[in-house]
């Protein structure tokens, strides 16, 4: 029996830690701490991602892939806009709904991916694959009905974030599908992050006013806000880095399976930390969604695309 290399265990642990860590810290900042500026928070994430991506590229830790054409650049601009919208909506939702409910909604990503793939590219899955999406959606409906902390706006904005994330993955497959345009996740982040900053900066100023001045005044009273923002932004970068490393050390399919388990782990940890109420109906709904996602992954692997 082959032993799992320690390097693989290390990168998977780091991936779990950074994913769950940034989610919980963002929730703490936006609700418990009272830093109610989700767009500025996302801008901070993208600023540090831009800086660290550049450092990684010049040190050759990840081989640099150059852009081939102006057309490829504009495709990445389009992806950056959709990506920014998804992340902002995800952070905004954390102001209104608990992490456990956020993760239940986020688990419906395969449903939106299948819908957009069919709508945009007319790609069809086997009927049994579509059938597995029924428990995914049904589970979220049940979880919503049994969620003690249900908030309509938070629910809608989280669904928007999930849909945008799925749309971005479909767009990425379409726009960067040719062999000469394919970029690994770290190089894609290298080009997307600075564009996202240029999109998010005016949005921050328009939606959140003098947030920089407010944050500086807050830092004078409580320097911890600076360290919270730095840690949150660092974790946001390491989510992408460890995602790349896990795929490198395992496979995209293993990443998907680990991602399903990660959501469940995040739910348990968030309930333990924030002590948000959760009903038996909500737990059943989330469990049904996770089962549906696992079945969806298995049927896609078995039947593929028709």
Ordered by start, the domain boundaries in the chain are 6-60+67-303
The pLDDT of 84-110, averaged and rounded, is: 94
* From 83-92, 174-183, 238-247, the region with the lowest mean pLDDT: 174-183
User: In the prediction, which pLDDT does 175 show?
Assistant: 83
User: In the prediction, which pLDDT does 3 show?
Assistant: 55
The pLDDT of 131-135, averaged and rounded, is: 92
In whole angstroms, what is the distance from residue 55 CA to residue 230 CA? 17
User: In the prediction, which pLDDT does 306 show?
Assistant: 42
List phi, psi (to 5°) of 144: -65, -45
- In this model, does residue 261 exceed pLDDT 90? no
Contact criterion met (CB below 8 Å) for 165 and 109: yes
In whole angstroms, what is the distance from residue 127 CA to residue 97 CA? 34
Among 48, 163, 3, CA closest to 171: 163
Comparing 3 with 68, the larger pLDDT belongs to: 68
User: In the prediction, which pLDDT does 302 show?
Assistant: 81
Q: What is the pTM of this model?
A: 0.89
User: In the prediction, which pLDDT does 288 show?
Assistant: 92
The pLDDT of 192-206, averaged and rounded, is: 96
């Amino acid at each position: 029996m082959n032993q799992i290399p320690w390097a693989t265990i290390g990168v998977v642990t780091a991936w779990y830690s950074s994913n769950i860590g940034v989610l919980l810290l963002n929730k703490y900042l936006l609700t418990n701490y009272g830093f109610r500026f989700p767009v500025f928070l996302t801008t901070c994430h993208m600023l540090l991602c831009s800086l660290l991506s550049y450092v990684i590229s010049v040190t050759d830790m990840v081989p640099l892939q150059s852009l081939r054409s102006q057309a490829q650049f504009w495709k990445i601009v389009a992806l950056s806009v959709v990506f920014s919208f998804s992340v902002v909506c995800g952070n905004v939702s954390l102001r209104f709904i608990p992490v456990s409910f956020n993760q239940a909604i986020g688990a419906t990503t395969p449903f939106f991916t299948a819908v957009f793939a069919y709508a945009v590219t007319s790609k069809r899955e086997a009927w049994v694959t579509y059938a597995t999406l029924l428990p995914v959606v049904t589970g979220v409906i049940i979880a919503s009905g049994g969620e003690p902390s249900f908030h309509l706006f938070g629910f809608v904005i989280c669904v928007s974030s999930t849909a945008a994330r799925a749309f971005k993955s479909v767009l990425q497959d379409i726009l960067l599908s040719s062999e000469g345009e394919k970029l690994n996740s770290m190089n894609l982040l290298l080009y997307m992050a600075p564009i996202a900053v240029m999109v998010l900066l005016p949005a921050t100023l328009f939606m959140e006013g003098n947030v920089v001045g407010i944050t500086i005044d807050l830092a004078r009273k409580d320097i911890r806000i600076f360290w919270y923002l730095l840690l949150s932004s660092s974790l946001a970068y390491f989510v992408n880095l460890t995602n790349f490393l896990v795929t490198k050390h395992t496979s995209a399919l293993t990443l998907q399976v680990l991602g399903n388990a990660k959501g469940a782990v995040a739910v348990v940890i968030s309930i333990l930390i924030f002590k948000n109420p959760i009903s038996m109906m909500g737990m059943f709904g989330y469990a049904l969604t996770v089962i549906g996602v696992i079945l969806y992954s298995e049927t896609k692997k078995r039947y593929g695309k028709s």
